[in-house]
Amino acid sequence: MNTSLDTNALKARQQAIWASGDYAVIGTTMQIVGERLAEACDLRWDEQVLDVAAGNGNVTLAAARRGCRVTSTDYVPELLKRGEERARAERLDVVFQTADAEALPFADGTFDAVLSTFGVMFAPDQAQAARELSRVCRPGGRIGLANWTPQGYVGQMFKTLGRHVPPPAGALPPSRWGDEEQLRVLFEGAFDALQVSRQLFNFRYRSAAHYLEVFRTWFGPMRTAFASLEPQAAAALERDLTELLNACNVGGPTSLVVPSEYLEVVITRGR
């Protein structure tokens, strides 16, 4: 971790970014990822499960649907409210609690499974976040993660945003969590087994223009990036993102279907 980086300032900036727009509009389209991860972790009825950086609660709901006793956490209260609305609609009994992935307010070994879908990977202090996931997971329990890869569409999207709106100096790219070798370094000494499966999530929209309209309105990082740029610079970012989307599109000329690679990770906590 680069000690010159002001992680508190970066965290405050991130909180404001993720609170802008309404991530649930995007997040709910990814529910299948939470369901897949719940199955990969072989969740059992009555197990104690923690969802870290839960966002709008995709894997929270997946675990609760399998009879688990779920605590759903995020450091952005606005995101938790969306998850709470969804759980209430399904009559699922879930505890929602504001919490920082780098300082989880739970005792060692509290949970049978600790999960995160596209969430904890954005923590500024990646090593500390990994330590916290390991700490609150019981020996022999599972840590389940879904992380965008650097080479997949989302990894490339964030690289494109970074060329136009550079991240703070010293900040580590979240896509490091989508690299198996980096994961083994992050969790070194904390696991008995680390299993990785490459998966694809398909973004489905009418066109690149439709995708950008939705993401510029509701997805905090993109909304913030465009808002920070002068019109000419914003137009250049739009052109680069459109080019990337069209290059990745497998839906043909009348639709947009963009496969994005992610790692589905199941770590068995050391005993």
Q: Where are the domains of the chain?
A: 7-150+167-203+261-269
Condensed to tens digits (0 to 9), the pLDDT of residues 156-196 reads 999 999 999 998 877 899 999 999 999 999 999 999 999 99
First to last CA, the chain: 27
Q: What is the pLDDT of residue 261?
A: 98
Specify the CATH number for 7-150+167-203+261-269; select among 1.10.150.530, 3.50.50.60, 3.40.50.150, 3.40.50.300.
3.40.50.150
Cβ-Cβ contacts under 8 Å for 52 (sequence gap 6 or more): 73, 99, 101, 104, 114, 115, 116, 119, 120, 129, 132, 133
Does the pTM exceed 0.85?
yes
Mean pLDDT (the chain) is 95
Condensed to tens digits (0 to 9), the pLDDT of residues 189-226 reads 999 999 999 999 999 999 999 999 999 999 999 999 99
Condensed to tens digits (0 to 9), the pLDDT of residues 67-111 reads 999 999 999 999 999 999 999 999 999 999 999 999 999 999 999
HSE at residue 212, side-chain half, CA atoms within 13 A, is 19
Cα separation, 172 vs 162, whole angstroms: 12
